[in-house]
A and B are shown apart, each in its own frame.
Chain A
Amino acid sequence: MSDSALGAPNIVTIVSFLLFIGLSLGITVWAARKTHTASQFYTAGGGVTALQNGLALAGNYMSAASFLGIAGLVALSGFDGLIYSVGFLVGWPVVMFLIAEPLRNLGRYTFTDVVAFRLRQVPIRIAAAIGSLAVVAFYPIAQMVGAGNLIRLLFGIPYEYAVMIVGMVMLACVLFGGMMATTWVQIVKTVLLLGGAALLAIWCSRGSTSIRWRSSRRRPRCMAPVSWRQAGSSPIPLTPCRSGSH
């Protein structure tokens, strides 16, 4: 990996990154104009269709972890890492089976509202706030670290600034756009991720015709799992599959 371009600013990645940031902020402005009531802020006024919501939830699930963290976890710790890729999904059916009905039937927006509807408000809300902050302290911080590192690699700017930029874009999106903006940003993300991953998978499995066509001297091959390489089954020198490296 001595010829790795990581950390060096690359015009294609920077332009696509800025395009995506611009698109996110554009969606936020558009959503902020349409958001006036609490119902519109929390649930997009109930105007999100099943397909849109499915795409948005899929975008939630296929977060930075799926592409940056879990692949590395599985590579480094095998089945112990595989737990993470399975575990995230398993929480959703359980949430759906247990919480979806009361939430809808009571016409509330958050789980806390449902519980506080039946029980004493103040202790419930304190407990919910502590729970939320505990989750916030671990989950988005991990996300921000990942995103900050990614931007540092893309632009070569200091890590602290990278984290601050990401945080401000995230906050602007959620605070001003509400559920409408977050839903549509996630939909865009899902389509981009699924499209990009499918493209990479096709390139890697189909002998990467377009890459080979451009650089006929060296035949790029995808990186095989460690076990295959150790078995020495492939006589061809293996190079990591990078879509745009030539």
Chain B
Amino acid sequence: MPLTVAMMVIYFGFILLVAFNKPLLAAVLMPGMSLGMLLGTLVILSAWVLIWIYVRWANTTYDAAIAGMRK
């Protein structure tokens, strides 16, 4: 559940930036790379990181707990 909230905050933060502060996103960090493109990439990468955290938690904690209940 905290992971869901984290994903939502990241995603809607990005959407709100796109909606209300385009000049900021259009700031060019280096040729061919604006802040908006960088943040968009980071949103996707953050999804990977959150999934990785979830899978690690599921494999170590959650599955162990289920195995414990089944015994």
Contact = CB atoms under 8 A, between A and B. Distances in A.
Contacts of B8: 94
A150 B36 CA distance: 31
Contacts, number: 56
Contacts of B47: 89-90, 92-93
A79 B15 contact: no
A83 B50 CA distance: 19
B59 to A, nearest CB: 12
Interface stretch (A22-30, A96-104, A155-163, A193-201): A96-104
Contacts of B36: 79, 82
A86 B1 CA distance: 21
Contact of B15 (A83, A85, A98, A105): A83
- Specify which of B1, B44, B62 lies most central, judged by the most chain A CB atoms within 10 Å of its CB: B44
Interface in A59-115: 78-80, 82-83, 85-87, 89-90, 92-94, 96-98, 101, 105
Interface residues of A, number: 19
Given A86-B14, A101-B62, A93 B43 contact: no
B4 to A, nearest CB: 5
A79 B22 contact: yes
A145 B31 CA distance: 36
Contacts of B14: 83, 86
Interface of B: 1, 3-4, 7-8, 10-11, 14-15, 18, 22, 25-26, 32, 36-37, 40, 43-44, 47, 50-51, 54, 58, 62, 66
7 contacts: A79-B25, A80-B18, A86-B14, A89-B47, A90-B11, A92-B51, A97-B4
